Amino acid sequence: MEPSDPESSSQSQRKQESAPKGQGEDGSKLKKAHLKNASTKKKKPKKATVSRAARVNYTVHQGEDMLLVISNASSQYDDSAWAPKRKGSKKRKLVRENTKAIRTKTNRTVHVKGKVETKTAVEEEEPSMFAFPQGTNDQRWGQNLPEEVLVNIFQMVVSQDNAVPFLCRVGRVCRLWNAAASSPILWRRVTLGHCWIPPGKSQLPKTEKKIKDTVTWLAQNRFSQLRDFALCHWTKNVDFTLQAVSQFCPHLASIKLSYCSGLTAKAFQSLGLHSRALHSINIQYSEFQVEGLLEYLENHGHQIKEISFTHGLKNDKLLAALNRGCCPDLELLEVNTKLDSKDGELPVCIQALQQACPKLKTFRMLNVRPLHKTMRNGMDSSPGFPCLEELCIASTSYSYMTDKDLLDILFASTKLRVLDLRGCSRITPPGLARLPCPDLQCLFWGQYFNSHVGLPSLKRDFHLVTQLWGQTLQQLDIANQVFTEEDLELAMGYLAAQTKTLCSLNLSGTRITLRAVRNVISRMQALDYLNLSSCRYLPRGLKKIYRGQEEIQQLQDKLKELV
């Protein structure tokens, strides 16, 4: 029996409603899975690909008069362990294989739109207009330079900026640079600066251990040919550093300590045991144990040729030791003092020093007022300084040096080349003319920061000086000297008529006239420096410093217009 029309219509309506209900559930599941995959993909943003230019297969170096082109086609470091490898390449391959397997499984069950494969950085790399063709065996340009070329480049940098920390840093670039930076030629002169410590804090034990380990490693692995060693502003570990350097550096010849403290007798004992080639000691502005240095000079002073120290109450004992003959081969002696020091007077027995150090070539007393003492035994005969080439008694304050004192020092110095008397206002031109120094090249006689310059009786006959040394002078400094206009004109006339080698002339603060300046410039062809600042008898536009022959030529043209 067939159902009635209303019943059949209701049944068919139920079937129609039940059918889309199942299909809607399946559609919602697919939609949730698609959203879940989309959310997971959003959490991992894509990495931006960076395009890199092709590597250049040659290197261009600019020399003084030519360009040096070095090819990088063949490298001695090809296929070496030092060549950089791509990090995580194996891991990326495994991750890609796993993701591909997962995608194939999900594609079978859930029909999701496939992801478009992106090109890698290498595939997207496009040759730029400045790129050159890249070979298969090309390496970085720094790895293909000859080691000798790198050593020469490093040597130029070291001569200007010091070996440390430059060589320590470039040695970490690559294997080739490490080998070049390890060359013993580059480590012959080393200066170690202070280790920075915050104000008000002490050096930690770990930091102190690192410093000692670094010094020991450098001494053992880099300082095999060390000649000159310097420490600056070290307040700790000075003894340890000098002991390590002396033990592992058999060629050590010079030591310089600037503003250091904590130097004891242990360091000097180590220098005496190991440093047989040491001949120069510079301990200016440093605090050290004077007894330790005195003991070293008494035992090993015969090998010392240069010594420099700062004037002080305890340090003056070193000068007494030198007068006793501890350093018979001494060639350089420099004694200075701090600019803010009030005690600048230094008692010196010139006769005893002349007998103890007859080979002295350079004698400097900077900012020190020497007080001449006589020998107790009353011996007047003295060999003098026959080898002396430079005498410097410059001072920023009043000086007691007179003509007689200067003659007592230089009566046998026929080889003198440099004479620095800045601040010595008691020296007169006749006193200079009596010196037995026929080949003097540099005379510095300017008065700087000195209130005792206004004595006209001490400033006469300057033409005697230029007449004596006019043929040999190369540098002349008479700044702020009070000579008359006529005397300066006569002196410059003798100088211009004789000299052919004068290259530097300082007339600052003098009474030089326009006529004398014109005479000097027209005849001195080698003049390269002229100081006319604060010259009261010159026009305002000419009172300045002229550097170089071009500026001096321009001055000469101006003087022609003023005629």
Q: 166: burial class by Cβ within 10 Å (0-12, 13-18, 19+)?
A: middle
Residue-level pLDDT at 49: 55
User: What is the rounded CA–CA span in Å between residue 462 and residue 142?
Assistant: 62
Cβ-contact 242, 264 below 8 angstroms: no
Q: How far is CA 381 from the centre of its chain?
A: 46
Residues of the chain with pLDDT under 70: 1-143, 195-201, 340-343, 375-380, 449-458, 563
Amino acid at the residue 533:
S
Long-range Cβ contacts of 432-438 (<8 Å, 24+ apart)? 432/464, 432/465, 432/468, 433/461, 433/464, 433/465, 433/468, 434/403, 434/407, 435/406, 435/407, 435/410, 436/410, 436/411, 436/412, 437/410, 437/413, 438/414, 438/472
Q: Which of 145, 130, 133 is nearest to 60 (CA)?
A: 145
* Residue 143 CB partners (closer than 8 Å, separation 6+): 75, 77, 82, 174, 175, 176
Give the count of alpha carbons within 13 A of 77, CB side only: 19
User: What is the rounded CA–CA span in Å between residue 347 and residue 37?
Assistant: 94
User: What is the rounded CA–CA span in Å between residue 188 and residue 184?
Assistant: 7
Residue-level pLDDT at 551: 92
DSSP letters for 296-308:
HHHHHGGG--EEE
If DSSP codes are grouped into helix, strand and coil, which group holds residue 514?
A: helix
User: What is the rounded CA–CA span in Å between residue 72 and residue 59?
Assistant: 7
If DSSP codes are grouped into helix, strand and coil, which group holds residue 255?
A: strand
Q: Which of 328, 322, 327, 326 is nearest to 348 (CA)?
A: 322
Q: Which of 116, 120, 114, 96 is nearest to 37 (CA)?
A: 114
Amino acid at the residue 81:
A
Size of the chain, expressed as the number of residues it contains: 563
Could you read off the pLDDT of 512-563 as tens digits, one per residue?
Answer: 999 999 888 888 888 999 999 999 889 888 999 999 989 999 998 888 887 6
Q: Where does 131-261 have alpha helices with state H? A: 141-144, 147-161, 166-170, 175-181, 205-221, 238-248
